[in-house]
Structure 1
Amino acid sequence: MNPNFDLVIFDCDGVLVDSEVISCRAHAETLTRHGYPITSEQVLVRFLGVSDREARQTIEREIDRKLPDDFEQQVKAATLKFYEGDLQAIAHVGEAIGAIRLTKCVASSGTPEKIRHGLTCAGLYDQLAPHIFSATQVSRGKPAPDLFLFAAEQMKVQPSQCLVIEDSVPGVTGGRAAGMTVLGFHGGSHCQPGHADLLRAAGAAVTFDDMRQLPGLIEKIRV
């Protein structure tokens, strides 16, 4: 395995589990119910890769009022309900994880409960636990570098020795701001034509759309 890296940091939504469309649907339905009409597609464009906390703060600034105190809980409940019937792992990601011999962890904008539930529904939790980190553990979510730096610190690896797998512009931006190399994945069902270009423009060293490519890319990439 590539000696340039000691740790692979996976985003969760859109990289491990094909959940972005489901999450956007839950957000859109909850926001619309509270007087902020928005479609799933608009949520995807505006908030892909952004933590729930920071998305909420953005919306509250726009509407100049607070959303209900339990807004995140309402979104989470809707998301988990949809997960039960609709969530799938990203195709071939389990095999890719198994083929990568480097240490691995997860760094996600989701809450710990959402991450755990999603990975469990997709049959991936046991492959990655207990090294799972959430934006709720840091003061600033993506695109700030805090979550990636926290994950590296917890795993006792220097940022320059970390390889991040991300599907969103905020995630790529945060990984690069942390001084890490980022690979951009654009194979999730939410990814539109041109998404790879956006990831490269944000700083992804390489983009790919099939998880079967990932072990080989890690072997070849050089910092």
Structure 2
Amino acid sequence: MTKHILFDCDGVLIDTEIVAAEVVTNWLISEGVDINIETFIADYTGKTFTDILEILKAKQLLAASTATREAVAFMDEEIRRNMRPIVGVKEMLSGVPVTASMVSNSAEDYVLEAIELLEANHIFQKRVFSAEMVPKGKPDPAVYLLALEKLNLNKEEVLVIEDSVAGVTASTAAGLKTVGFLGGTHVRNGHGEKLKQLGALDLVRSHKELTEYLSGI
């Protein structure tokens, strides 16, 4: 029986994955990295900015001397300025039938800002689990395992809503039932099939579909 829902933030509730892709791609190009937005979406959506920069450094595509912390701070600020809810999200949240938390690769203060924007403090009640709280962010399952521990829930009592390859990889590695959300503007053809291959049980294409899905849990 599902007692609790773990929502990802970006790409599920807040439509910032496409903004993030644009901001980070433009910054990387300015640093001499040969990349375009479609490659970024395919290869890096859902990963922390720190992990993305470290991956590119390891591949010698980005200078090893690049100041990661300063770069990430700049990109975070640009994305926060363009934070916007996904269509239908407030209506969906108003009908969530059980308690819920947010599990995100984004910084905790950013996620709390998103909750304010969504007018959803009464739903999440500051139940936020961020990649900042664990050694490695998604696709590592650590942040989901932390949520289970802190919420004192068994795996079978939890349902996850995720949109990215990294997110679904993390949640399924933690042994959690996961629904793939395809309602963000960053989603491309074939993305749903990728999420299913990674273990997503079902797919929903909008918050209207998600509302209907959750009414049956």
What TM-score, normalized to structure 1?
A: 0.88
For residue 46 of structure 1, the aligned residue among 33, 40, 43 is: 43
Contact 1:149 1:159 survives alignment (8 Å): no
Structure 1 residues 58 and 92: CA distance shift in structure 2, 3 A: same
Question: What residue ranges of structure 1 are gaps of 5+ in the alignment?
Answer: none
In the alignment, which of 179, 184, 189 is matched to residue 183 of structure 1?
179
Residue 123 of structure 1: how far off its partner (Å): 4.2
Task: Kindly provide the CA deviation profile for residues 109-137 of structure 1, in whole angstroms up to 9, marking residues without a partner as x.
Answer: 11123323334344445542401111111
Q: How does 1:1-223 map to 2 (within 5 A)?
A: 4-63=1-60, 65-68=64-67, 69-81=69-81, 83=82, 87-125=83-121, 127-220=123-216
Query: Does 97-106 or 118-127 show the bigger shift?
Result: 118-127
- Structure 1 residues 148 and 106: alpha-carbon distance in aligned structure 2, compared to 1, 3 A threshold: same
Which moves more between the two structures, 124-133 or 20-29? Answer: 124-133
Work out whether residues 28 and 37 of structure 1, in 8 Å CA contact, stay in contact via their aligned partners in 2: no
Q: What does the per-residue CA deviation read over 1:152-183, in whole Å, with 9 as the maximum and x for residues that have no partner? A: 22222112211000001111111111111000
The question of whether the paired residues in 2 share the 8 Å contact of 1:109 and 1:135 is answered with yes
Deviation at 1:34, TM superposition (A): 2.3
CA gap 1:127/1:220 in 2 versus in 1, 3 angstroms: closer
The count of aligned residue pairs is: 214
In structure 1, distance between residues paired with 2:116 and 2:66: 30
Looking at structure 1, the residues matched to 193 and 213 of structure 2 have their Cα atoms a distance apart, in angstroms, of: 18
Contact 1:17 1:119 in 2 (8 A): no
- RMSD value over aligned CA atoms? 1.8
Percent identity between the aligned chains? Answer: 26
